[in-house]
Amino acid sequence: MISNRKKRSWLICTGVMLLLAVMALSGCSTTHKTADSSSKGEDTSAQQATADKKLVMAYTWKPSGVDPHGDNSWDIMRSGAGETLVRLNEKLEPVAWLAKEWKQDSPTVWTFSLQDKVTFHDGKSMDAESVKASLLRSIKKSHLAKDLLDVKSIDVTGPLALKITTNQPNAALVSNLADPSTIVLDVASMKDEQSYPAMTGAFKIKAFNKDQSLVVERYDGYWGEKARLAEATMKFITDGNSRLLALQSGEVDVATDIPVDNAEVLKKNDKLQVLSSPSLRTHMIVYNMESPVFKDAANRKVVDNLIPRASIVSAIMRGYGTEASSPFPSILPFGKVERKALDGTPEQLLAKDGWKKDAQGTWTKQGKPFEVTLLTFPQRPELSVMAEVIQSQLLKEGIQVKIRKVENIDEALTKNDWDFAMYSMLTAHTGEPQYFMDMFYSSKSESNVSRYASKPLEDILDRLKLAKDTAQRNAVTLQALNIINTDLPQSFIVHPDNVFGVKKGVEGFTPHPIEYYYITAQSDIAE
């Protein structure tokens, strides 16, 4: 005997449960529709799909869009869809890509002749006018492109010839044209919101699923060697452990940015392999040049000398890195620099500078102990471990270090309550030293985190802009590095490697120091 009211209550409860179940199921089917519709009608038949080779990559970053002239340029370049006028070879030298050749007419004028028979993904031919429009758009949309190119004017001098005039002498222009922010596209394709950007790469964009994946497919009209893969998918998996598990479960063929601890796990799996390449990144210590302790160069030199670089490389980096002696790794011709030897032992240097050891073995000067604050941050966990190792090493020598972990290191460095800090930077992201040195060492730059000012160094950097050839540029850069290693506004600790987990059978995936070229025409999967 159940009353009507009771029946109604139960009906409502049952209804709510059913509604939730339907929501869950309908949500799933919606996903299907979204994924299908996002391919924009460019279906490939099921038969073709099984016959063709497809590569899936677990990718660390999550682009917010597919416009290559903005914050997502690196992601588009890595997908194999975008190309620049110049690319960098494995020695990080600029070589021809969409530009066939170039020459410098004067310190501020360069002429480029372009490859012929290049077409955009929408079928239009690439010519000097379209390249000019693309470069102007990249300068307008990207602050980095604007800074790197420093363009005064671009003139079309022939169907496939361009003249670029810079505001100031910019000897790094050619290398800087390899930066992904200058990817060449058909500007008209950006006006159609229903289509993806038409670029010139071996792959064209097939689908972009925000927060999920970027799918590219072979472009059959490609001007160079055709892509061996029919399709490649970059799945955005920001969590390092999730990337590793996706690789182990076989859902992806390649996983980028494998933490070095996990590399050991992958090595034990006979279906997977670990690939690595030297990177252009440098893990370093930056000194606050306004710190009461570290404004004294002798104290910076002592700390620099006590950093256990060899054990950091072997124990913390597990061998995936090399000891650093300058901001630039030694794979670069201007990175081969010797660290300056200390003039005496740390004890002698400190004693000469007026420090005395107290009964507890701590160095003191005018009654104040040698006590310094070291900042570190969680986004690169290995830096915090390095900080602890350095703290322990300095303590052994009588130097007290307080470690403070901050959420945002760049913001923390703008304040004054720190003495030194762990830091990490890409130092030659176009294979060129100039942009980094201008930003990092100029007394006017906000990116000069050490607040270091050196007139001799800034004079050398001005000379670098006028250097005529590679040999001269390298020689001038080495002069600059000599000053940096003497003044020590930073201590360079290690150049970490780029580490990838790759399924056996994946071919043509060659880790490259420059980090732009992941999926290429040569990428393949063995039958």
Residues interacting with other proteins, by CB under 8 A?
2, 5-6, 8-9, 12-13, 16-17, 20-21, 23-25, 27-28, 30-32, 35, 62, 64-65, 70-71, 74, 143-144, 146-147, 209-213, 235-239, 241-242, 245-246, 248-251, 281, 406-408, 410-412, 424-426, 429, 435-436, 439-440, 444-447
Nearest approach, Cβ of residue 217 and other proteins (Å): 18
Nearest approach, Cβ of residue 24 and other proteins (Å): 4
Nearest approach, Cβ of residue 440 and other proteins (Å): 6
Q: Between β-strands 231-236 and 400-405, what pairing exists: parallel, antiparallel or unpaired? A: unpaired
| Closer residue to other proteins in complex, CB, 43/338 | 43
CB 233 within 8 A of CB 215: yes
| C-alpha to C-alpha distance for 58 and 234, rounded to whole angstroms | 6
Nearest approach, Cβ of residue 17 and other proteins (Å): 7
| Closer residue to other proteins in complex, CB, 219/440 | 440
Nearest approach, Cβ of residue 91 and other proteins (Å): 21
Nearest approach, Cβ of residue 428 and other proteins (Å): 10
| Closer residue to other proteins in complex, CB, 17/395 | 17
Task: List Cβ neighbours of 240 (8 Å cut-off, separation of 6 or more).
Answer: 60, 257, 258, 259, 262
Nearest approach, Cβ of residue 392 and other proteins (Å): 27
| Closer residue to other proteins in complex, CB, 251/459 | 251
| C-alpha to C-alpha distance for 178 and 83, rounded to whole angstroms | 9
Q: In one letter, which amino acid is 246?
A: A
DSSP annotation string for 59-86:
ES---S-S-TTTTTHHHHHHTT----SE
Instruction: Please give the helix or strand (H or E) that residue 113 lies within, else none.
Output: strand 109-114
Nearest approach, Cβ of residue 349 and other proteins (Å): 32
| Closer residue to other proteins in complex, CB, 211/220 | 211
| C-alpha to C-alpha distance for 519 and 228, rounded to whole angstroms | 11
| Closer residue to other proteins in complex, CB, 180/335 | 180
Expressed in angstroms, the distance from the first to the final Cα of the chain is 69
| Closer residue to other proteins in complex, CB, 121/429 | 429
Reduced to 3 states (helix: H, G, I; strand: E, B; else coil), residue 527 is coil
Helix H segments across 177-307? Answer: 240-248, 260-267, 297-306
Tell the residue number behind the tokens 């005496």, with chain if given: 344
Nearest approach, Cβ of residue 43 and other proteins (Å): 16
Nearest approach, Cβ of residue 156 and other proteins (Å): 28
> DSSP code of 408?
-
| Closer residue to other proteins in complex, CB, 233/322 | 233
| Closer residue to other proteins in complex, CB, 135/144 | 144
Nearest approach, Cβ of residue 513 and other proteins (Å): 14
Tell the residue number behind the tokens 């030293």, with chain if given: 433
Longest alpha-carbon distance in the chain: 100
| Closer residue to other proteins in complex, CB, 412/488 | 412
Task: List Cβ neighbours of 51 (8 Å cut-off, separation of 6 or more).
Answer: none
CB 361 within 8 A of CB 474: no
| C-alpha to C-alpha distance for 139 and 181, rounded to whole angstroms | 8
| Closer residue to other proteins in complex, CB, 30/157 | 30
Length of the chain: 527
Nearest approach, Cβ of residue 287 and other proteins (Å): 17
Nearest approach, Cβ of residue 294 and other proteins (Å): 21
Q: Count other Cβ atoms within 10 Å, centred on residue 424.
A: 18
| Closer residue to other proteins in complex, CB, 16/315 | 16
Q: In one letter, which amino acid is 35?
A: A
**478-482 contact pairs (CB < 8 A, 24+):** 478/334, 478/337, 480/433, 480/437, 480/441, 481/326, 481/327, 481/328, 481/334, 481/337, 482/337
Nearest approach, Cβ of residue 76 and other proteins (Å): 13
Give the CA dihedral 301, 305, 306, 310, nearest 10 degrees.
150
| Closer residue to other proteins in complex, CB, 281/300 | 281
Task: List Cβ neighbours of 280 (8 Å cut-off, separation of 6 or more).
Answer: 92, 328, 329, 332, 426, 427, 428, 429, 431, 495, 513, 514, 515
| Closer residue to other proteins in complex, CB, 112/208 | 208
Which backbone phi and psi does 46 adopt, to 5 degrees? Answer: -60, -35
